Chain A
């Protein structure tokens, strides 16, 4: 009975401390802003089963991924055993779940085996941390405490596993010597028992009892240590995966508060007379921990600082300050610092510090290319760019602060509808020698094309990319596709403005474009620029623009597959071609195969770069980086990526994005290889294959 009372007391303390922690966290969460509504229960369950229980993303590093997966699955099984131990402890019985029969045998047996596997795995992990220098575990944000934290947690897990095995061993031994029959199967412990010589049943009983208590008390301690360490991950990651953002990674959330303002501005009736909206948020964007969403904070608590995000971040790889892991760690640390103050003094309390500047510098924020490599890599579906972008939004919308080049871009988009200073009247200059139908002309003759070809600012104004727009138009003409372009009526989709934090300007552009498109009754849009593609497809629906948006690579692939587009398989015969995945086609929208199919249909030898498809490295131009100087670092991202391409020995670097093209062309020039290696867009290759 005394044993039960002691156990119940220990359990009560455990739950008490845990509830205290949970209560604090709930309060911290209450300070955060709303994020997306949690719907699609079944879809979320699917993601959770796949990513959390299936461990699919951790397998992106196969060997270590496998070891981690074994630990995770082992924990799941052993957890069931722990539940039994709690029941046993409270009821004063042994093996209370043995009525489950074979299932109980299975749980016990797999727990016994997994305990050994986990113990070994943990030793491997500890050895990596103690004796090897793993760059992923280092970085400015990785303080002594981070390392200590990991080592303590791993040691505790090791202790848990050893005590579990010795408990099983003791149980088997004492059952064997006391003549009882053991409930459950313990294959490893049984094997271990054989190596023991003559030990009295009494000793085994002591081993069993002692191990039982060590094991369960370690669990109780561990459960309450975790929330205060980076290994809170153990509790938070499965729910975090369930609560994943389900939108395509390339999509940025719409700011409703800005939509309201833009609508007031665009309506001439109310533009200058409407009173300031009372419901305006106290702050646009994120300056401090409480401005972030509950999901950002959830993300930060789920982070176990594994550094997979940072190890694939193009900015970080090239020596810039940004580390996606640090962004998450900073949010968590800031909430830990400010949360208690807000609990005491209210949400509006200011301690004169903030997440921005005291934790995260502007230089870090402006280094992000929004390539989503971190998002792709994170095993628990953390979304770092959404927080980075919200902080940029604060800088631009509240402080009117942005790198000088971006301010110029804002002015250009606002005044002449393109990030560069070109007149809208020159938008059709690329089509001087090509017959390109213009929407307004068709409309005047009551014509309605099937597709709108969205040329984009680069297609209209960038010297190199104008050739791509031309090549694609020639293909469309050759195939007699019913299409038209907007010409002078086209304007920037707003993508660079939005990614540079200027949500106001983005929405003004978006609403203007949507109104033009609706005016012509456009239903299907083809884009060559992946940035325009992503914005039109994923972001315009939030503002009422629902169109079928098709990337030209998908269309080309379809035409080739259906036999509509005939391509000579000999033009590229024997030529080594490598393909660079644009982030906004690949990771952001999952278009990886189409361009590769097109290239291989032309008879070319496709040589993949080491980092390809979802592992592809960004060219460095996304997230409005195209229009500004790179932040300080050791290397330019485009050079790093060009080196990837050069390593393949390809004579043609194919890509499918105007910004990637600019970056890789610059890279080839930097490396003095532009004479021998050519950079072509998929559309240009196809046009060549068609003899156009």
Chain B
């Protein structure tokens, strides 16, 4: 059995986002790029399955749509333990474009389980997974919080309103996973870091595709206003503020 984990390259979660000129994209200078946290957990679960001989999973491949500058993030995934990687050499203007490229990868190579994070922490679009499955014509399951393989058949638990749903899906399938799929992200061992330097990254050129969306403008949330302290001896002032300024009473 082979698993493909799709990974997205996102700014580290502590990054202070600045908008680039034109306010339609972010200023990438000085940004530390990391594997999208949901994808990192997917990868961790995929590696856990591979490391368990009973699962029947033999290899874990990571796929990424992005330019050569995102290779450090791919190497990180290889250092953590992925066996090999595929990079589609293109910027990723929107989800549709990325999904098209990933679906194309699935045409070229056979995988039994494809894992996508439920969203990426940059644009939080939450659509790539579903699109890829649809384009590739394979079943997809969303909001997967647990994935195991029992007797060669993927067993999935997904969160539903007020409970859990447990289902089996025949391979190939695409699992759109959420946090909980793995306890905590795996870290790279020294051998992994050393081996990652020589593990293969296959580069595919993109197929032509038109993005379906265009970002017209990005806007940062209004800064939180400063906290106002009211002295305990002036309850009337508090009421005034709540009524006149906050307009909540």
A416 to B191, CA, bound (A): 24
Q: Which residues of A contact B195 (CB under 8 A)?
A: 276
Given A415-B14, A421-B14: A272 touches B75 (CB 8 Å cut-off) = yes
Given A421-B14, A423-B14: A415 touches B188 (CB 8 Å cut-off) = no
Residues B44-99 near A (CB distance < 8 A): 71, 75, 80
CB distance from B144 to the nearest CB of A (A): 21
Name the CB-closest residue of B to A276: B194
- Asked if B194 and A261 sit within 8 Å, CB to CB, the answer is yes
- Asked if B16 and A398 sit within 8 Å, CB to CB, the answer is no
Residues B164-195 near A (CB distance < 8 A): 183-195
Q: Does B124 contact A (CB under 8 A)?
A: no
Q: Which residues of B contact A404 (CB under 8 A)?
A: 183-184
CB distance from B91 to the nearest CB of A (A): 21
Binary contact readout B235-249 vs A (1 if CB under 8 angstroms, 0 otherwise): 000000000000000
A271 to B183, CA, bound (A): 31
Q: Which residues of B contact A659 (CB under 8 A)?
A: none
CB distance from A423 to the nearest CB of B (A): 4
Q: Which residues of B contact A423 (CB under 8 A)?
A: 14-16
Q: Which residues of A contact B186 (CB under 8 A)?
A: 400, 407
Given A275-B198, A276-B198: A425 touches B185 (CB 8 Å cut-off) = no
Q: Does A422 contact B (CB under 8 A)?
A: yes
Given A272-B197, A276-B195: A400 touches B187 (CB 8 Å cut-off) = yes
CB distance from A471 to the nearest CB of B (A): 23
Q: Bin the interface of chain B by size.
A: 20 to 34
* Max count, chain A CB within 10 A of own CB: residue among B16, B184, B185, B190: B190
Residues B138-184 near A (CB distance < 8 A): 183-184
Q: Which residues of B contact A411 (CB under 8 A)?
A: 185, 187
Q: Does A680 contact B (CB under 8 A)?
A: no
A280 to B197, CA, bound (A): 14
A181 to B197, CA, bound (A): 84
Q: Does A402 contact B (CB under 8 A)?
A: yes
Q: Which residues of B contact A571 (CB under 8 A)?
A: none
Q: Which residues of A contact B188 (CB under 8 A)?
A: 400
Given A399-B189, A422-B14, A423-B14: A415 touches B194 (CB 8 Å cut-off) = no
Q: Does A274 contact B (CB under 8 A)?
A: yes
CB distance from B203 to the nearest CB of A (A): 13
Q: Which residues of A contact B32 (CB under 8 A)?
A: 415-416
A425 to B14, CA, bound (A): 9
A423 to B192, CA, bound (A): 28
Name the CB-closest residue of B to A272: B197
Q: Does A322 contact B (CB under 8 A)?
A: no
Residues A238-281 near B (CB distance < 8 A): 258, 261, 264-265, 271-277, 280
CB distance from B47 to the nearest CB of A (A): 10
- Asked if A397 and B14 sit within 8 Å, CB to CB, the answer is no
Q: Which residues of B contact A284 (CB under 8 A)?
A: 190
Name the CB-closest residue of A to B184: A404
CB distance from B149 to the nearest CB of A (A): 23
- Asked if B190 and A416 sit within 8 Å, CB to CB, the answer is no
What's the dominant secondary structure at chain A's contact region? helix
What's the dominant secondary structure at chain B's contact region? loop
A627 to B153, CA, bound (A): 40
Q: Does B34 contact A (CB under 8 A)?
A: yes
CB distance from B163 to the nearest CB of A (A): 27
- Asked if B197 and A271 sit within 8 Å, CB to CB, the answer is yes
Which residue in B13, B14, B194 is a CB contact (below 8 Å) of A277? B194
CB distance from B49 to the nearest CB of A (A): 16
- Asked if B190 and A261 sit within 8 Å, CB to CB, the answer is yes
Q: Which residues of A contact B75 (CB under 8 A)?
A: 272
Q: Does B104 contact A (CB under 8 A)?
A: no
A549 to B184, CA, bound (A): 37
Which residue in A264, A272, A399 is a CB contact (below 8 Å) of B71? A272
CB distance from A77 to the nearest CB of B (A): 53
Name the CB-closest residue of A to B37: A411
* Max count, chain B CB within 10 A of own CB: residue among A277, A399, A502, A504: A504
Given A258-B190, A276-B195: A408 touches B184 (CB 8 Å cut-off) = yes
Which residue in B34, B183, B193 is a CB contact (below 8 Å) of A261? B193
Which residue in B34, B184, B190, B197 is a CB contact (below 8 Å) of A407? B184
* Max count, chain B CB within 10 A of own CB: residue among A261, A277, A400, A404: A400
Which residue in B13, B15, B16, B189 is a CB contact (below 8 Å) of A400? B189
Q: Does A430 contact B (CB under 8 A)?
A: no
Residues B105-151 near A (CB distance < 8 A): none
- Asked if B190 and A504 sit within 8 Å, CB to CB, the answer is yes
CB distance from B132 to the nearest CB of A (A): 27
A421 to B14, CA, bound (A): 6
Q: Which residues of B contact A415 (CB under 8 A)?
A: 12-14, 32, 34
Name the CB-closest residue of B to A284: B190
- Asked if A398 and B191 sit within 8 Å, CB to CB, the answer is yes
CB distance from A113 to the nearest CB of B (A): 59
A106 to B13, CA, bound (A): 77
CB distance from A500 to the nearest CB of B (A): 11
Residues A387-438 near B (CB distance < 8 A): 396-400, 402, 404, 407-408, 410-411, 415-416, 421-426
- Asked if B16 and A425 sit within 8 Å, CB to CB, the answer is yes
- Asked if B197 and A402 sit within 8 Å, CB to CB, the answer is no
A274 to B195, CA, bound (A): 10
Name the CB-closest residue of A to B33: A415
A422 to B32, CA, bound (A): 13
CB distance from B17 to the nearest CB of A (A): 10
Q: Which residues of A contact B15 (CB under 8 A)?
A: 423
Q: Which residues of B contact A272 (CB under 8 A)?
A: 71, 75, 197
A274 to B196, CA, bound (A): 11
- Asked if B193 and A398 sit within 8 Å, CB to CB, the answer is no
- Asked if B185 and A407 sit within 8 Å, CB to CB, the answer is yes
Q: Which residues of B contact A280 (CB under 8 A)?
A: 194
Q: Which residues of A contact B16 (CB under 8 A)?
A: 423, 425-426
Q: Which residues of B contact A400 (CB under 8 A)?
A: 80, 186-189, 192
A396 to B188, CA, bound (A): 9
Residues A364-404 near B (CB distance < 8 A): 396-400, 402, 404
Binary contact readout B15-27 vs A (1 if CB under 8 angstroms, 0 otherwise): 1100000000000
- Asked if B193 and A504 sit within 8 Å, CB to CB, the answer is yes
A178 to B130, CA, bound (A): 111
A397 to B188, CA, bound (A): 8
Residues of B within 8 A of A (CB): 12-16, 32, 34, 71, 75, 80, 183-195, 197-198
Give me 22 A-to-B residue pairs in the complex whose CB atoms sit less than 8 angstroms apart, sorted by A's number: A261-B194, A272-B71, A272-B75, A284-B190, A397-B189, A398-B189, A398-B191, A400-B187, A400-B188, A400-B192, A404-B184, A407-B185, A408-B184, A410-B187, A415-B13, A415-B34, A416-B14, A421-B13, A421-B14, A422-B14, A423-B14, A423-B15
Nearest 3 Cβ contacts at the A-B interface: A400-B189, A397-B190, A423-B14
Known: A410-B187, A415-B12. 10 other contacts (CB 8 A): A258-B190, A261-B193, A272-B75, A276-B194, A397-B190, A400-B188, A402-B187, A415-B34, A421-B13, A426-B16
